[in-house]
Structure 1
Amino acid sequence: MCIKTVGLPVLTLSDFITGNSGFILLPLQEVTKQYEWIRNAHKQSFYTILFCKDGTGQLTVDQQLISLKENSVICLGPGSVNSYDFNAIRNGWMLAFSESFFSMRYNDNVLYNFDCLKYHKFCQQDLCKEEQEEWQFYLKLMNREYKSNNQDARSVLRSYMNIILSILNRINDRKGIRKNIKSEKDKKVTAFEQLVEKHFPTKRLPSFYALEMHISVNYLNRICKEKRGISSGDIIRNRIVIEAERLLLHTFLNISEISYQLGFESVSYFVTFFKKNTGYSPYNYRKHNKQ
């Protein structure tokens, strides 16, 4: 399913449909037939929701093989390395949208209230009969609006998106997957993770993020340990390691090129950093996990 490339391709919504205005809605059964390159390993710069009504599909998210079953939903945030095969799906939908599309109406942080949409994460839910009918109802409305020429179509689509994401949060609530109320500490840790996502190649010290958030380094460390079980420095280092592993597994970039892309001053420093955090040298990690 995955084919290595010289550099890991990063897909945008324009790779599917030009002039998409930050939102696309496609029949799932046509996605891998019409866009065959989606079978290959790639990163996505957008959020994705996959709804399978009939049939089965497969996707790989950061080396984890996942089955998309009948009457289930999978949500993917940007950043993970994915590949898809939906040829055995007979009925379903793929919704994809950019953060800017959603934040035109809602503020930038609203998406992070939805636990199903996280960077480098995926969320999978089986739907009961009532939930299936609810999803199909809103998807039918969304498809009609998506195909319309109404001037306010984008605004209406954003409202529908907010509804189905809220429904998914409720499902997660009922199944005990998330807490109903997020504390201020939860919000601050999430904000920190957002900043890390934007700056990790160049900013590796917790002091930078604490300054950006107008809090002390000690407080940042304390809430990270309380909410994530690790320090703020560990969160930054883990993010760098994830990116290094992706580049080693899915590209033909050499160790020096990966080191440069991740902002390391020298190859030897990158090799030492990677081995300390994974137990492997970059070369041995690539060799050990060679597909």
Structure 2
Amino acid sequence: MAKIPVIEQCTVSYKENKDFLVDRLEVYLEQNKNLVFPHRHNFYHMVLFLAGGGSHEIDFKEYAVERGQVYMMGPGQVHSWMFQGEMKGFIVNFDIDYFKTLLVQQDYVERLGIFSSLTESVFVLDEYQLREIINLFSQLLELNDRVTTDLQRTLLLFILLKLDQAYAPSLEGKSLDYHLVLIKNFLALLDQHFKELHLPKEYAELLFVTPNHLNAVCKEYMGLQAGEVIRNRILLEAKRLLILPDWTISQVSYELNFNDNSYFTKFFKKIAGITPEEFRRSQWK
């Protein structure tokens, strides 16, 4: 059975360095003209739009392109482009191990708010922030031509921190305390075990908390009960599989450990409001 294509950094990088790429968006698009189908990356990916139109889609949510918009994506997310007009901006791709020799805390980058699965990492910079970030991207592009790896890594990290500072997440006003750590750990476990573990009590046991406490923290930070978070993660994976033309509904149901097609269809329709078949048709228009 086919899988959603996983694009590796080396396949989209047309420069010498295969674990890092920075370029003008218009140059990147010219070099990767056919990269418009839904796909995943095995690397980190970010784009800053300066001109152009159309839209892009991340995990089945569509965003209209606008000047100053930034989007950040971690490995594994599904996305596609539907651009219009003359696109301008910057794009940066970097491997998951790009900062390995620079940072003591290996998960430092993935713990930044801009790469958090708690909130959507699509936001718009104001003009002051935009001028500063354009200048930094331009410097990063100049360093890329000189292949000065340590300076590249340091400047890229600085850019990520500036963007993280500019980002206005929905959790604004909530303290970065133990509860936020608990939520992040819950989401990490959910990504690993959503196919076989479907109940809040199963995750609560792994996190050494009570189901009631996990529910309360999820409600405070995400506005959802833990069970809803779990079901939404399963739904997302179902959508990722349903866009594959050679997967049957039965195969998707089996992959997600549902007992039968009927139960899977009821589950999908209850949350998404449409059947798996209707969702598939809407994506194949």
Does TM-score exceed 0.5, indicating one fold?
Answer: yes
Corresponding position: 1:170 with 2:165: yes
Corresponding position: 1:125 with 2:119: no
Q: How far did residue 254 of structure 1 move?
A: 0.7
Q: How far did residue 167 of structure 1 move?
A: 1.4
Deviations 1:213-259 (A, max 9, x none): 33333322221122122222221111001111232245441111112
Which position in structure 1 is the counterpart of 2:143?
Answer: 145
2:153 maps to which of 158, 177, 187 = 158
Q: How far did residue 148 of structure 1 move?
A: 2.9
Identity, % of aligned positions: 24
Q: How far did residue 78 of structure 1 move?
A: 3.8
Q: TM-score if structure 1 supplies the norm length?
A: 0.81
Q: Cα 1:22–1:210, aligned 2, differ >3 Å: closer, same or farther? A: farther
Which position in structure 2 is the counterpart of 1:246?
Answer: 240
Aligned positions, number: 282
Which position in structure 1 is the counterpart of 2:275?
Answer: 281
Which position in structure 2 is the counterpart of 1:233?
Answer: 227
**For the residues of structure 1 that align with 2:20 and 2:107, how far apart are their CA atoms?**
18
Corresponding position: 1:195 with 2:194: no
Residue identity opposite 2:19 in structure 1: G
Contact 2:52 2:84 in 1 (8 A): no
Q: Cα 1:223–1:257, aligned 2, differ >3 Å: closer, same or farther? A: same
Shifted more, 5-14 versus 232-241: the winner is 5-14
**For the residues of structure 1 that align with 2:282 and 2:167, how far apart are their CA atoms?**
37
1:216 maps to which of 210, 217, 231 = 210
Q: How far did residue 147 of structure 1 move?
A: 3.1
Corresponding position: 1:10 with 2:6: yes
Structure 1 vs Structure 2 CA RMSD? 3.1
Residue identity opposite 2:181 in structure 1: K
**Any unmatched runs of 5+ in structure 1?**
none
Q: Cα 1:290–1:179, aligned 2, differ >3 Å: closer, same or farther? A: same
Q: Cα 1:106–1:235, aligned 2, differ >3 Å: closer, same or farther? A: farther
Q: Cα 1:103–1:118, aligned 2, differ >3 Å: closer, same or farther? A: farther
Contact 1:145 1:157 in 2 (8 A): yes
Q: Cα 1:106–1:15, aligned 2, differ >3 Å: closer, same or farther? A: farther
Q: TM-score if structure 2 supplies the norm length?
A: 0.82
Corresponding position: 1:93 with 2:90: yes
Q: Cα 1:264–1:22, aligned 2, differ >3 Å: closer, same or farther? A: farther
**For the residues of structure 2 that align with 1:65 and 1:209, how far apart are their CA atoms?**
31
1:77 maps to which of 59, 74, 78 = 74
Q: Cα 1:59–1:124, aligned 2, differ >3 Å: closer, same or farther? A: same
Corresponding position: 1:66 with 2:63: yes
Q: Cα 1:172–1:288, aligned 2, differ >3 Å: closer, same or farther? A: closer
Contact 1:41 1:250 in 2 (8 A): no
Q: Cα 1:270–1:221, aligned 2, differ >3 Å: closer, same or farther? A: same
**Any unmatched runs of 5+ in structure 2?**
none
